[in-house]
Structure 1
Amino acid sequence: MADIGTADVRQYLRGLAVFAGELPEFDPDAAPERPEELFVDWLTGAVDDGVREPHAMTLSTVGADGRPSARVLLLKNVDRHGWQFAAGAASPKGRDLAANPVAALSFHWPQQARQVRITGTVAPEPAERSAADFLARSPGARAEALAGRQSSPLRDVRELELATERALERIEREPGLVVPEWTLYTVRAEQVEFWQADKQRRHTRLRYERVGEDWTRGQLWP
């Protein structure tokens, strides 16, 4: 690990490599008509190139007080209807979405120097779909959601351990148990931007914009 002081951070950061290695080609003229089709192409390409956790994304929301908040979580699905993720309705992100049902998603695949940015409205899926998503989670993940109290102050880690143990025991007794507040959300995209870096900074940006149920697309200046 580098030994640097705070006064040296600027120079240290400027010395870090960016856009290293071979970068994939991107021809925006050959892009499909719908953004979810191009997204799946890029996602599977990231998997093929060994990108770790390529389905991890930054979810940005805005609370009732107007303050933005961002965190990383996993994409659950994408289709013609939108991009899906899941969360507890009583969690900070769930409360944000109840107050302002809009969000931004950001994907970053650094090995390919690619980003995808998505903005749109957010709506909860029906209870049966949320329940199916919850039951598809691992026992540990279900126990974490069942224990609840996400983002509450933790005064003693043993308290967390005991709550998780009790939740796991309950899940073993009731394998079909679903946390009522667990919610599968769908982002109905209004804009989707695909960004491909170039070593000479002539980056390629292609933006899709929704028009009813169809899409227009065009390039942006870097």
Structure 2
Amino acid sequence: MNRSTLGKEIKRDIASLRENYTKGGIRDEDLPSQPVPMFARWLDEAIESEVNEPNAMSLATVTPNGAPNVRIVLLKGIEGETLQFFTNYTSRKGDELKITPSAAVSFWWPELERQVRIRGRVEKLSRKENDSYFQSRPRESQIGAWVSRQSSPVENRDALKERADKISQKFGDDEVPTPDFWGGYSIEIEEIEFWQGRPGRLHDRILYQKTDGKWSRKRLQP
């Protein structure tokens, strides 16, 4: 599709789409010395505000040739200064994290006019942690983890349905075990930026960075 054709497909003038943010601000005197309590408070407020999928985060990894790759995953835990999510270890993101165990994530809560960006090192969770979370999932989701060879081509939806039926029959009424190829990752927070929309595009941006185990904080220009 060339540029002129693309322009005809879009019904609205994208350049004219904009919002004037007015719902809040970040005062320096309200900032904690460490960022995780503030992140937890913002996440709680997103949940209380009934933001759709408040724990959804864009996860960026790096391909073997150094290109960025991003997708949405769900935050499933906060432990200390780490974030936890779960996936198929043989997926594209799993392959990429195996080679480059670092990632960036971002949260966007439009109802609150807030964004959070985080970067850090990534490690696999323990088998015990994987089992604990896997057994808390609905049985349908457990079966789905066994069925999906995530990121691999599939002939059609019927093929997935047939595989799901076979897996369901295999386990019957027994407990569904955690697949060896499925589990969690933790992202150790090394850098986190809080963004609050402000009028006139004079947004608040607060950046925390951890060096040698100690946190520093600075305000960034919008």
| TM-score past 0.5 threshold | yes
Task: Report the Cα distance in structure 1 between the residues aligned to 2:104 and 2:171, rounded to whole angstroms.
Answer: 33
Deviations 1:155-210 (A, max 9, x none): 12211111112223334433141101222111011110000111211110000000
Flag the 1:164–1:19 CA change in 2: closer, same or farther, 3 A: farther
Q: Is the 8 A contact 1:130 1:184 kept in 2?
A: yes
TM-score, structure 2 normalization: 0.90
Structure 2 distance, partners of 1:79, 1:48, is 21
Identical aligned pairs, as a percentage? 30
Q: Tell me if structure 2 keeps the 8 A contact 1:58–1:73.
A: yes
Pick closer, same or farther for the CA change 1:152–1:205 going to 2, 3 Å.
same
TM-score (norm 1): 0.90
Contact in 2 for aligned 1:61/1:96 (Cα 8 Å): yes
CA distance in 2, matches of 1:100, 1:17: 36
List aligned pairs for 1:12-91, cutoff 5 A: 12-19=13-20, 22-91=22-91
Listed one character per residue, the Cα deviations across residues 98-130 of structure 1 (whole Å, up to 9, x for unaligned) are: 010000010000111110000010001111111
In the alignment, the residues of structure 2 paired with residue 122 and residue 148 of structure 1 have an alpha-carbon distance, to the nearest angstrom, of 23
- 1:15 counterpart letter in structure 2: S
In the TM superposition, what are the counterparts of 1:100-115 in structure 2 within 5 Å? 100-115=100-115
- Counterpart check, 1:144 vs 2:137: no
Rounded Cα–Cα distance in structure 2 between residues aligned with 1:144 and 1:6: 39
Structure 1 SS opposite 2:42: helix
Q: Which residue of 1 aligns with 2:119?
A: 119
Alpha-carbon separation, structure 1, partners of 2:48 and 2:213: 31
Deviation at 1:28, TM superposition (A): 3.3
Runs of 5+ in structure 2 lacking a partner?
none
Moved more, 186-195 or 26-35: 26-35
Instruction: Please list, as runs of the form range in 1=range in 2, the aligned pairs for 1:146-161 lying within 5 A after superposition.
Output: 146-161=146-161
Secondary structure at 1:173's aligned position in 2? Answer: coil
SS at match of 2:200: coil
